[in-house]
């Protein structure tokens, strides 16, 4: 069985993506809509806070809820980490994904001033990948053991780790 | 009478409050260049809502016409829009793209 195509929703998402790209051309590099009707905005890393505040405060895009904040490690790229924010709008019942990139040493602006929920998610991304968030209120390890060295979710970290348990 | 929402008090005289907020937003929007898409669209939205607020004096009917939840939520939304407009004046997002990504950055599958 194949998921039925929802043309109306696809068209609405395409229109909204073009709307946002028209308003924020300084930071948005690309907009895409997946075949499963998911809208993705690809951002320059300096534009995280402007784009997230715009999506939270603007009347046509009240994405008040940060559903997820993760990172993806693609070691072959120049900027290996891809930070992904998933936002949900309760007023319009729609979701949007915002993606940025960074390498191992460049800090990224923290999303905590915009969404309080980003606090622990950013701690997890720091702990697991090593992406430093500037202006984070309390950036420390959250899932690994107290004296743990290394960032486990990176692709070059071995599955059974470096220390024997 | 209550809003039914936790933490949002009932607003007495919502028309006045909305009028002040919308005039402030329009004032802030004058500071950004006229051809910016943000200014165009936000002015359109604010003027539509402002006209509805001016025409309709009954609170319940205004809520139905705006179709955006309770009046108190509309007031909160207008306050958010005002703070966003002030930040937009500083960030200037209508300028052209800051920096192109590396050519393989957004290619998927790798």
Residues in chain B: 110
Query: What per-residue confidence (pLDDT) applies to B30?
Result: 93
Helix (H, G, I), strand (E, B) or coil at A28: strand
pTM here?
0.92
Query: What per-residue confidence (pLDDT) applies to A9?
Result: 93
With cut-offs at 50, 70 and 90, classify the pLDDT of residue A7. Answer: very high
CB pairs under 8 A between A and B: 83
Residue with tokens 């998921």: A3
Yes or no, beta carbons of A25 and B95 under 8 Å apart: yes
Yes or no, beta carbons of A101 and B101 under 8 Å apart: yes
With cut-offs at 50, 70 and 90, classify the pLDDT of residue B4. Answer: confident
Query: What per-residue confidence (pLDDT) applies to A111?
Result: 94
Query: Hey, is the C-beta of A46 within 8 angstroms of any chain B C-beta?
Result: yes
**pLDDT of B67 strictly over 90:** no
Of the CA atoms within 13 Å of residue B92, those in its CB half-sphere come to 7
A93 vs B contacts (CB less than 8 Å): none
Å from A149 to nearest chain B CA? Answer: 28
Helix (H, G, I), strand (E, B) or coil at A88: strand
CA distance A160 to B48: 60
Q: For chain B, what are the domain ranges? A: 37-89
Residue with tokens 């950036």: A139
**pLDDT of A69 strictly over 90:** yes
In this predicted model, what pLDDT tens digit does every residue of A86-126 receive, in sequence order? 999 999 999 999 999 998 899 999 999 999 999 999 999 99
Query: Hey, is the C-beta of A30 within 8 angstroms of any chain B C-beta?
Result: yes
With cut-offs at 50, 70 and 90, classify the pLDDT of residue B44. Answer: very high
Q: For chain A, what are the domain ranges? A: 7-134
**pLDDT of A43 strictly over 90:** yes
Q: How far is CA B71 from CA A89, A133, A140, B14, B67, in A?
A: 19, 37, 42, 7, 10
With cut-offs at 50, 70 and 90, classify the pLDDT of residue B89. Answer: very high
Interface mutation vs chain B, best among A16, A24, A60, most B CBs within 10 Å? A24
A59 vs B contacts (CB less than 8 Å): 42, 45, 77, 81
- Sign, CA dihedral B64-B65-B69-B74, equals negative
User: To the nearest whole number, what is the mean pLDDT of chain A?
Assistant: 92
CATH 3.60.21.10 assigned to domain A7-134? The reply is no
B93 vs A contacts (CB less than 8 Å): 23-27, 47, 50, 54
With cut-offs at 50, 70 and 90, classify the pLDDT of residue A127. Answer: very high
**pLDDT of A58 strictly over 90:** yes
Query: Hey, is the C-beta of B110 within 8 angstroms of any chain A C-beta?
Result: yes
Q: Give B27 or B2, the one with higher predicted confidence.
A: B27
Q: Are strands A94-102 and A39-43 parallel, antiparallel or unpaired?
A: parallel
Residue A62 · residue B73 · CB < 8 Å: no
Query: Hey, is the C-beta of A23 within 8 angstroms of any chain B C-beta?
Result: yes
């Amino acid at each position: 069985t194949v998921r039925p195509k929802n043309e109306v929703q696809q068209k609405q998402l395409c229109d909204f993506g073009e709307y946002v790209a028209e308003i924020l051309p300084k930071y948005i590099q690309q907009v895409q809509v997946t075949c499963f009707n998911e809208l993705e905005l690809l951002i320059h890393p300096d534009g995280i806070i402007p784009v997230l505040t715009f999506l939270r405060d603007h009347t046509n895009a009240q994405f008040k809820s940060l559903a997820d904040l993760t990172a993806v490690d693609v070691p072959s790229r120049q900027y290996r980490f891809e930070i992904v924010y998933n936002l949900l709008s309760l007023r319009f019942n729609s979701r949007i994904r915002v993606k940025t990139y960074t390498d191992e040493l460049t800090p990224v602006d923290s999303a905590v001033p915009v969404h309080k929920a980003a606090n622990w998610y950013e701690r997890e991304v720091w702990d697991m990948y090593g992406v430093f968030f500037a202006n984070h209120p309390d950036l420390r390890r959250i899932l690994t053991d107290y004296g743990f060295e290394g960032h486990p979710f990176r692709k070059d970290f071995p599955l059974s780790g470096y220390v024997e348990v | 009478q209550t809003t039914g929402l936790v933490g949002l008090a009932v607003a007495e005289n919502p028309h006045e409050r909305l009028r002040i907020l919308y005039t402030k937003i329009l004032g802030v929007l004058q500071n950004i260049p006229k051809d910016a898409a943000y200014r165009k669209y936000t002015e359109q939205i604010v003027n539509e809502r402002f006209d509805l607020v001016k025409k309709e004096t009954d609170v319940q009917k205004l809520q139905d016409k705006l179709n955006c939840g309770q009046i108190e939520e509309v007031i909160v939304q207008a306050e958010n829009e005002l703070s966003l407009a002030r930040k937009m004046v500083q960030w200037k997002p209508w300028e052209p793209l800051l920096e192109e990504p590396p050519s393989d950055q957004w290619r998927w599958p790798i």
